[in-house]
Structure 1
Amino acid sequence: MMALSEVLNEKFDELVGNCMRSGAIDLNLYQEYDVKRGLRDSNGKGVLTGLTEISDVNGFRVVNGVKEPADGQLYYQGYDVKSVVGSGLKKRFAFEEATYLLLFGSLPTKEQLKTFVEILSSLQELSGQFVRDVIMKAPSANLMNGLQKSVLTLYSYDSNPDDISVANVLRQSLQLVAKLPLIAVYNYHAYRHFHFFDSLVIKPAKPEYSTAENILHMLRPDGQFTELEARVLDAALVLHAEHGGGNNSTFTNHVVTSSGTDTYSAVAASIASLKGPRHGGANLKVQQMIRDLHEHCGKTPDEEAVRAYLQKILRGEAFDGSGLIYGMGHAVYTLSDPREVVLKDFAGKLAKAKGMEEEFALYNTVEKVAADLLMSRSHVVKPVCANVDFYSGLTYTMLGIPEELFTPLFAISRISGWSAHRLEELVNKGKIIRPAYKYVGHHREYPNNEQE
């Protein structure tokens, strides 16, 4: 893109100032009009905007009519996610089984799972024309934009893209579940080739492999991986597949779906939401924070050094100056995030196999100290726990997955939940989602005299 000339740049700066002044709203008005900013009550509870049977997210229990913090629980179609992951370790397709469960409401039989996996495998292929004309052209440094571009362009390759009948949307959804791993990995290879002149190796998916196995196979030059690596990635995919209708990207999908638009546009909108560092990009911020900790406190800092560093973060004096300890706290969970509990256990096993026990121990220390510091702050009204983002970045790093793919991996997993919610919205024929905004500006008379 061409830059503005020096003269026009000064004029543009003036426009920026005008925009800032025009867009500023008195924050006191939000309280005066009882605006549920961020669709959350003043106590932090989400405003009820819909109903779902797909998943349930709990962080409290009610005792004698009083809400009390509790260990977090996450259910997929009524099943505890810990059981879904646990049962998945005894068979090959844990993520595929979870996807079936989310889409169809029940666990598949062995024969149903076999057929489902065969259907997904048959839909995996990306044509050479698509790879050449879409993925290889102008690859983006942020792969989430590459995912958006690719998903939107699939519309042009669909003979019936605008049909929003349940049957057609299910077909499109299964195609996206099957193709998104290839799209993400191929976008990464294209980015590395054109930006860093790496060798370009594009491997097709193997129909006999699970999603997790294929990701590792397509990503690594030699295509090799261990059983533990595949199982850990498979578990991570299951844990990220769904998290209620109110999370930002899934709610985005509901909103866009309610307008009657096509599947590719709805999924691209969800990807756009997930890209943000307040949502899917949080695990990358955890990794960057830990690197900054190493730079300032050494490779193996003790607990006191970690505490001093985290105190600086909270004061806005360290890392990115935001005052946030990334990977800590959650809008719903209080005592624990069930996804973090499961993933932490897998991360510990992987750290032992990879000889990274010291790094894993550091994460444990940061988690413990951060929770203590955040709880000691006067304005915290509920317990603070680590969320799934805290250990997911470390897990991906130990798997040799590059940071550019951290958030795309989240999308590869969450496409299952997005698809289930889109279908639920269509099956129930809900109204277009249109919340209200109150006008707090001033009406003015347009001047009759011509502006000079």
Structure 2
Amino acid sequence: MSKLKEKLTQKIQEFRPRTTRLVKEFGKVLIDQVTIDQCIGGARDIRSLVTDISYLDPQEGIRFRGKTIPETFEALPKAAGSDYPTVEAFWSFLLTGDIPTQAEVDEVVAEFKERGKVPAYVFDAIRALPKDSHPMVMLSVGILALQKDSEFCKFYNSGKFNKMTCWEYMYEDASNLVARIAPIAAFIYRYKYKNDEQIAVDPSLDYGANFAHQIGQVKPYDDVARMYFILHSDHESGNVSAHTTHLVASALSDAYYAYSAGLNGLAGPLHGLANQEVLGWIMEFQKKLGEGVEPTKENVTKALWDTLNAGQVVPGYGHAVLRKTDPRYTSQREFCLKHLPNDPLFKLVSMIFEVAPGVLMEHGKAKNPWPNVDAQSGVIQWYYGVREWDFYTVLFGVGRALGCMANIVWDRGLGYAIERPKSVTTAMLEKWAEEGGRKF
């Protein structure tokens, strides 16, 4: 048993009594109430999911295992010669909540190299698709193809299934999926956009650096990959991709079934697809300013008002939960200020950041006038030559696998039940509305 799995075993055993006690002794304690607009409006803000992997605070932004993004980057061991932690260090941290030592990180790096060997049949399944299929379809199919070798599924079918130990097999699947999704994504990129001229894995590189290598990038894109995958890893359990993964896994489906479903949710325009839409809007915005025109507060303010007065929104601004600038945006902005401060597209994005919140507040219709993660991420990819917009959600999907997989390992470790909300009819809502509420 690896040291990471050994530590996780101890953590789960220590944690289980907390969940058991809450259900047994305090199960009927009221923690929230549900309104009609929440019921109709997508269960917004209803406190009905549990995760200790991350928490999204409206003012602070995301915390991973209690740490802010800057605290996380500062605390975790860095890749050699890099300002950023390895993805392997972050994976250990998400699973256990402990900052790993360099020796522990090295073990995970070595383990991922073994786990990351993708079976040939996965690539065959992707190649069987029409080449003009969306890369998210290819990624979802590639992940689903891995299901044939699911350790969790084998354990369930063995006749020896045990609810208290099944997490160990989910851990194996989750670890294999995380290790393999980046090479699969790199394969898709080279297959779809680079004439299927594949680049072999470099066994000397960590997760992020090897992904950069396999898609044909050089330094500092290794740091882009590390930063991007960590920033996009988790955002509480209620977003579409994380919630879908949790929901499907709650039926005791294995990690591959669950995350393939989560990826299909991530592909939606209101979720992971937003990053490419934001970049498209920024480039159109640049065209309207005029070729070679330097962005200023005056011309950007006018262009923003023209956008709003035409009944359009400002993509990349606003968030369902956050009420301040998304710290994920800030992290990417800091990277741009260091590595591409004079890039025309970044200069425009930077000026929009200076101007847009004030315009949106004056406009008065935006609950949150601050930028989210999507307002910045596409610009970095474009600068380094990854200009295939429809691939951006695949990058998101690689990062989001970290949080989704850590969550379902813990879901099985704590024996969470199958998710089954209770539905009501519109007639019931109308009746309760007339009566001023449901009578308990």
| Structure index of larger Rg | 1
C-alpha contact (below 8 Å) 1:139/1:146 kept by paired residues: no
Structure 2 unaligned regions, length at least 5: 1-33, 157-165, 429-440
TM-score where L is the length of structure 2: 0.80
What residue in structure 2 maps to residue 167 of structure 1?
A: 168
Report whether the alignment pairs 1:85 with 2:73. yes
What residue in structure 1 maps to residue 207 of structure 2?
A: 211
TM-score where L is the length of structure 1: 0.78
> CA separation in 2, counterparts of 1:325 and 1:184?
30
SS of 2:426 mapped into structure 1 = coil
What residue in structure 1 maps to residue 101 of structure 2?
A: 109
Q: Deviation string for 1:366-409 (max 9, x for gaps)?
A: 122221122123344x5421111111111111222232321111
C-alpha contact (below 8 Å) 2:87/2:229 kept by paired residues: yes
Report how far residue 429 of structure 1 moved.
1.8
Report whether the alignment pairs 1:372 with 2:378. no
Aligned match for 1:399, one of 384, 402, 415: 384
Moved over 6 A (4+): 30-34
C-alpha contact (below 8 Å) 1:189/1:202 kept by paired residues: yes
What residue in structure 2 maps to residue 35 of structure 1?
A: 39
Structure 1 unaligned regions, length at least 5: 1-29, 41-45, 61-71, 193-197, 318-322, 443-452
Report whether the alignment pairs 1:276 with 2:276. no
What residue in structure 2 maps to residue 287 of structure 1?
A: 279
Matches within 5 A, 1:373-452: 373-380=359-366, 382-401=367-386, 402-440=388-426
Identity of aligned residues (%): 24
C-alpha contact (below 8 Å) 1:136/1:190 kept by paired residues: no
C-alpha contact (below 8 Å) 1:303/1:365 kept by paired residues: yes
SS of 2:202 mapped into structure 1 = coil
Report how far residue 137 of structure 1 moved.
4.0
1:32 to 1:160, Cα distance in 2 relative to 1, 3 A: closer
Q: Deviation string for 1:391-431 (max 9, x for gaps)?
A: 11111112222323211111111101000111122122222
The one-letter amino acid of 1:39's match is A
SS of 2:153 mapped into structure 1 = coil
C-alpha contact (below 8 Å) 2:151/2:173 kept by paired residues: no
What residue in structure 2 maps to residue 239 of structure 1?
A: 231
> CA separation in 2, counterparts of 1:175 and 1:270?
17
> CA separation in 2, counterparts of 1:246 and 1:284?
22
Report how far residue 157 of structure 1 moved.
4.0
What residue in structure 2 maps to residue 315 of structure 1?
A: 309
The one-letter amino acid of 2:63's match is Y
Matches within 5 A, 1:89-238: 90-92=78-80, 93-135=85-127, 137-158=129-150, 161=153, 163=155, 165-192=166-193, 198-220=194-216, 225-226=218-219, 228-238=220-230
Report how far residue 89 of structure 1 moved.
7.6
The one-letter amino acid of 1:37's match is G
> CA separation in 1, counterparts of 2:127 and 2:172?
22
Report whether the alignment pairs 1:327 with 2:316. yes
RMSD over aligned Cα, in angstroms?
A: 2.4
Report whether the alignment pairs 1:73 with 2:58. no
C-alpha contact (below 8 Å) 1:140/1:146 kept by paired residues: no
Report how far residue 171 of structure 1 moved.
0.8
What residue in structure 2 maps to residue 305 of structure 1?
A: 299
SS of 1:74 mapped into structure 2 = strand
> CA separation in 1, counterparts of 2:129 and 2:250?
32
Report whether the alignment pairs 1:344 with 2:337. no
Report how far residue 268 of structure 1 moved.
0.7
Q: Deviation string for 1:336-389 (max 9, x for gaps)?
A: 21111111100222214xx51x32221011122221122123344x54211111
> CA separation in 2, counterparts of 1:422 and 1:160?
12
The one-letter amino acid of 1:174's match is S
